[in-house]
Structure 1
Amino acid sequence: MSTPDNTVQVTSLPNLAQILPYLLGHYPDDSIALHAPGPNFHDGPTMTCPLPDDSAEWQATAEHAARQFVAYAHDRGHDLAEGVIIYLCREPRPGQSPGETAALLAPVGTWLTNEFVEHRANVLQTIGLVANRWWAYECDVDGCCEGDPLPSPDDPTSVAVQMARLGRAPGPRTRDIIKEFRAATADPAFLMDLHTAADYFNSRCATTAGRDATLALTLEQIDAAMSRFRDGATALTRAMTTQLIVGLQDAAALEAGMAHAEDSDLPHARRLWAYLARHCAEPFRQEAVPVLTLFAFVAWRQGDLIAARLALRDAITTDPEYELATGIHLGTIDGEDPRDWLASAREGHAHRLTHLQHAVEVASEYRPTTDNTAVRFREALDAATSHHYDQVLGADERLLARYGTIDIVNGALADFRSGRRELSDEIAARIILGLQDLHARDVALSTGEESDLPYERQLWGYLARRCVPPHTGKAPPLLTLLGWVAWRQGDTVTASHAFAEAVDIYPGYTMAKLLLDGIRNECDPARLLAMYRDAAAEFAASRPDLDTL
């Protein structure tokens, strides 16, 4: 090597076989490993590529790995015409001998060599490593270089002795590293809870307000979990574990998780993300991708590139389109500074947090309730909906129902003016269902005096909060009415959020889209108010004698 004190002699095939875990920093189970020796042998580029379990995929894997390594070495100014060493690592499967495994690997070396030759790369040696034994596939002497044990650590000429003299130890095996973050066996009861949490997460995130509220809760849980792990915790409650796993599917939550990567937090964050990742067994491997990415980022911050890349390999294998994992993986390869990523994550998180706090505050006026009353609201809407849609109404009956809805609305407004803050479940459900009629909704649009606006706003927000899942689809009329009142009051922020929420729930809800466009185009609501007042007056004047219907 470059100095006598740092010299490692790799002068034999046994030494060449034994040096791999020192080159890579770990022993790559079931993998292709590629190394292009530099001036000091270990200075050149290296790369590992996992071998799929299915041997039918090995040729495509080998050819792709060779092309990747050619490009990788070229980007680093290394000429592979100077030589490449191929390592093929695999442990025997049950009932398979080391020799049979080595023979199974032989074609992989051939496919790699052929691909390298196509790119003018020179293969120096192809070494098979199986069950602590080595094979040199270039040797064509029968019985030679086939299945010899790796040199004993006591052999004074071994690489192990030379490395020990330099204070270097071989890296751990891949299978031992991945135990930290990879799920092993599934707990059926936990997976059932995780499935329930995922369903609840998806239902709450069906709207913008629901996503914001769910994100706010996830951010609180991240802070709480980090606090517990700082205090020495090694586990979380099942509820918090499942909620964090699904909550971290939100990119903004992931960014918040990355922000917990200051120096003092690294050991605690690493344990937390590894703990969560270990709970993502099949069929929830997809849910592990964000958590693995967080784990990898923390490992990268700690300088543990091996664990970072192995975690990222799992993440990218599961979801090749997950851009953050891919970006961090490239960052580890290109020698980027993870502190730059941390600064960006913290800045983005601070910006999002400010926006989120404002959005959650606004949405609290109309977001469906999630407390104990939600069950009661759902049951009331279940019963009323079943009765409502069982009826087959003629034209006159529909007109009668429309007027009846407006009468109930006017009665509810009178109750709110008198200081009441709630309606009976039956009355609330009847109004919600009645306003699904577009004509009834249009008549209910605020056209009264400004003194009535606070009571109208209170009523529409109250009814929107009662549209709990699975009745969220009934909220757009109420959100549209609320947004119109807020606009009349000059509160374009709440109005915009309410209209956008209505469109989010029902993209084809025309009235909400038109009013939202009106705000964005800075239209004068007074012109719309005049038009709505004319329509309301026409409706009142044409009201038939109900007794004759």
Structure 2
Amino acid sequence: MTHNDRPHGHQAPLQALAEPHVTLRGPGELADALPYLLGYHPDDSIVVVAVHGEAGRFGGRIRVGIPSVSQEWPDTARQVAECLRANSSARGDTPDGAVLYLCRDPEGQEEPRAVMERLRPLAQELREACGAREMPVYEALCVSGGRYFSYCCAQPHCCPPEGSALGPPGESAMAAAAAYAGIRVQGSLRELTARFAPLGPPSATAQEQALDAASAALLPRMLGEYTRGGVRAEVLEVTERLLTRYRAGRPLPGAPDADADAGDDAALADEEAATLIVGLQDRVTRDRAAEWMEGDDAEPALRLWRAVSRRCVGAYVEYAAAPLTLAGWVAWSSGDDTGARVALGRALEVDAGCVFARLLHSACNSGLDPEPLRACLRGQRAATGRRRPEVE
């Protein structure tokens, strides 16, 4: 497909932006818009955006990691195209086309152009997969090392072989519209994901020992018909105590994420984290913990679940699905769709069978309103008479 097959000027309103609409003209503006479409800079990612109607309105989008093994590219392309079409059709908005991005930075002394050429077969697989589902790819871009390349245009005056430099951050039409709407780019995907990464040595050793002890003490009681209720009460009591502590110890405004996370880690004892990690493997306990989700509860709850996720180390990495799902739920409930997708995506990476994470991830990606689930959890809390934690 060439530039003449479809004009680059796509009417592309952001999902969170009713007005103003932003018209993107040319591959440069499409490349500059990518972080604002996702809320972060994607690393090592395939991103496919649905396009609707003659005006080229942007719709749903799919982001997945680029498989390291090229033999997996054909299957990945088919799955991505199918998911994009299915998710859009489920909302009654079947795509008329798509825009494709491949994002990967050079390794070592590698040139961005070499990255683009290495990924060309993947771009072709994706274009064919989308075309086979009646979603022609109007533009396919590779973004690498601060430059962008078009797989659809061979005109040197428009898309030179050496690529073109991305525009200065914050100066595009999309950046202006995002600033007007209060939308910000939250760093790179790698940086966002790092906030959930397991702690390393030497902290991990002590934490894993605490997890071994908590498993030995709690799991037999969690399996007992007459004892599991007591474990649930203990875990929720620890949760409430920690939320009180986190509400009282908020990070300084504007503090770097690394400093804020370090403070949250210091406020959480190994034994407390182990109790929560093991206890949250019980579905009822996890669902009750999800009641801390909004208002003054949301910020400390999100920080707590991030910190607990980082304590899932060693043999307990898969246990992180529960706190990661809770972090994703609180983020989504608070209006942070970007943070929610990152946390829920990570939850599905560690446990693809986590039904709660999968349902929340699908709902968030489909643009659904979390309020019905919030209302259900409010009713659950009222029925049990549980109170919110108070600041000490």
Could you tell me the TM-score, scaled by structure 1's length? 0.58
Q: Find the partner of 1:333 among 344, 365, 375.
A: 365
Match of residue 294 from structure 1: 326
Matched letter for residue 265 of structure 1? D
Q: Find the partner of 2:48 among 28, 34, 37.
A: 34
- 1:6 aligned counterpart, secondary structure: coil
Q: Retained in 1: the 8 A contact 2:329–2:360?
A: yes
Correspondence 1:231 to 2:231? no
Q: Find the partner of 1:105 among 96, 111, 119.
A: 119
Task: Give 1:147-546 correspondences, 5 Å limit.
Answer: 147-153=163-169, 158-159=172-173, 163=177, 166=180, 169-183=184-198, 185-186=200-201, 187-232=204-249, 234=264, 235-348=267-380
**Pair 35,212 (structure 1): closer, same or farther in 2 beyond 3 Å:** same
- 1:219 aligned counterpart, secondary structure: helix
**Pair 60,185 (structure 1): closer, same or farther in 2 beyond 3 Å:** farther
Q: Find the partner of 2:30 among 16, 20, 24.
A: 16
Q: Retained in 2: the 8 A contact 1:34–1:85?
A: yes
The CA distance in 2 between the partners of 1:339 and 1:306, in whole Å, is: 17
Q: Retained in 2: the 8 A contact 1:24–1:171?
A: no
1:249 positional shift: 0.9
Q: Retained in 1: the 8 A contact 2:20–2:177?
A: no
Q: Retained in 1: the 8 A contact 2:206–2:270?
A: no
Q: Retained in 2: the 8 A contact 1:295–1:311?
A: yes
Matched letter for residue 295 of structure 1? A
1:180 positional shift: 2.9
Q: Retained in 1: the 8 A contact 2:294–2:330?
A: no
The CA distance in 2 between the partners of 1:208 and 1:96, in whole Å, is: 60
Matched letter for residue 34 of structure 1? V
1:274 positional shift: 0.9
Matched letter for residue 49 of structure 2? H
**Pair 284,257 (structure 1): closer, same or farther in 2 beyond 3 Å:** same
Q: Find the partner of 2:144 among 102, 117, 130.
A: 130
Q: Retained in 2: the 8 A contact 1:90–1:101?
A: yes
Cα RMSD between the aligned structures? Answer: 2.9
Q: Retained in 1: the 8 A contact 2:236–2:285?
A: yes
Matched letter for residue 72 of structure 1? N
Q: Retained in 1: the 8 A contact 2:293–2:334?
A: no
Match of residue 4 from structure 2: none
- 2:51 aligned counterpart, secondary structure: coil
Q: Retained in 2: the 8 A contact 1:163–1:169?
A: no
1:221 positional shift: 0.9
The CA distance in 2 between the partners of 1:320 and 1:201, in whole Å, is: 25
Unaligned runs of 5+ in 2: 1-10, 14-18, 251-263, 387-392
The CA distance in 2 between the partners of 1:154 and 1:263, in whole Å, is: 31
For these two proteins, the number of residue pairs brought into alignment is: 350
**Pair 283,145 (structure 1): closer, same or farther in 2 beyond 3 Å:** farther
The CA distance in 2 between the partners of 1:254 and 1:165, in whole Å, is: 36
The CA distance in 1 between the partners of 2:67 and 2:344, in whole Å, is: 16
The CA distance in 1 between the partners of 2:117 and 2:199, in whole Å, is: 30
Matched letter for residue 11 of structure 1? R
- 2:102 aligned counterpart, secondary structure: strand
Structure (1/2) with the larger strand percentage: 2
1:313 positional shift: 0.8
1:177 positional shift: 2.0
Correspondence 1:121 to 2:135? yes
Match of residue 104 from structure 2: 90
* Greater C-alpha Rg: 1
Q: Retained in 2: the 8 A contact 1:139–1:145?
A: no
Match of residue 514 from structure 1: none
Match of residue 389 from structure 2: none
1:346 positional shift: 4.3
Q: Retained in 2: the 8 A contact 1:258–1:342?
A: no
Task: Give 1:55-74 correspondences, 5 Å limit.
Answer: 55-74=70-89
**Pair 154,245 (structure 1): closer, same or farther in 2 beyond 3 Å:** closer
1:54 positional shift: 4.0
1:38 positional shift: 4.3
The CA distance in 1 between the partners of 2:169 and 2:279, in whole Å, is: 49
Q: Which of 38-47 and 114-123 deviates more?
A: 38-47
- 2:118 aligned counterpart, secondary structure: helix
Cα deviation 1:365-418 (Å, max 9, x = unaligned): xxxxxxxxxxxxxxxxxxxxxxxxxxxxxxxxxxxxxxxxxxxxxxxxxxxxxx
Cα deviation 1:426-472 (Å, max 9, x = unaligned): xxxxxxxxxxxxxxxxxxxxxxxxxxxxxxxxxxxxxxxxxxxxxxx
The CA distance in 2 between the partners of 1:345 and 1:317, in whole Å, is: 26
1:261 positional shift: 1.6
1:290 positional shift: 0.6
The CA distance in 2 between the partners of 1:315 and 1:13, in whole Å, is: 34
Match of residue 522 from structure 1: none
Identical columns (%): 28
Cα deviation 1:68-103 (Å, max 9, x = unaligned): 1111222334343x3211001122344644333222
Structure (1/2) with the larger helix percentage: 1
1:353 positional shift: 8.3
The CA distance in 2 between the partners of 1:291 and 1:97, in whole Å, is: 40
Matched letter for residue 275 of structure 1? A
The CA distance in 1 between the partners of 2:143 and 2:333, in whole Å, is: 32
Cα deviation 1:84-128 (Å, max 9, x = unaligned): 110011223446443332222211111111111221221111101
Q: Retained in 2: the 8 A contact 1:255–1:349?
A: no
The CA distance in 1 between the partners of 2:176 and 2:240, in whole Å, is: 47
1:315 positional shift: 1.0
Unaligned runs of 5+ in 1: 355-549
- 1:343 aligned counterpart, secondary structure: helix
- 1:337 aligned counterpart, secondary structure: coil
Could you tell me the TM-score, scaled by structure 2's length? 0.79
Cα deviation 1:300-323 (Å, max 9, x = unaligned): 111000110111111122222211
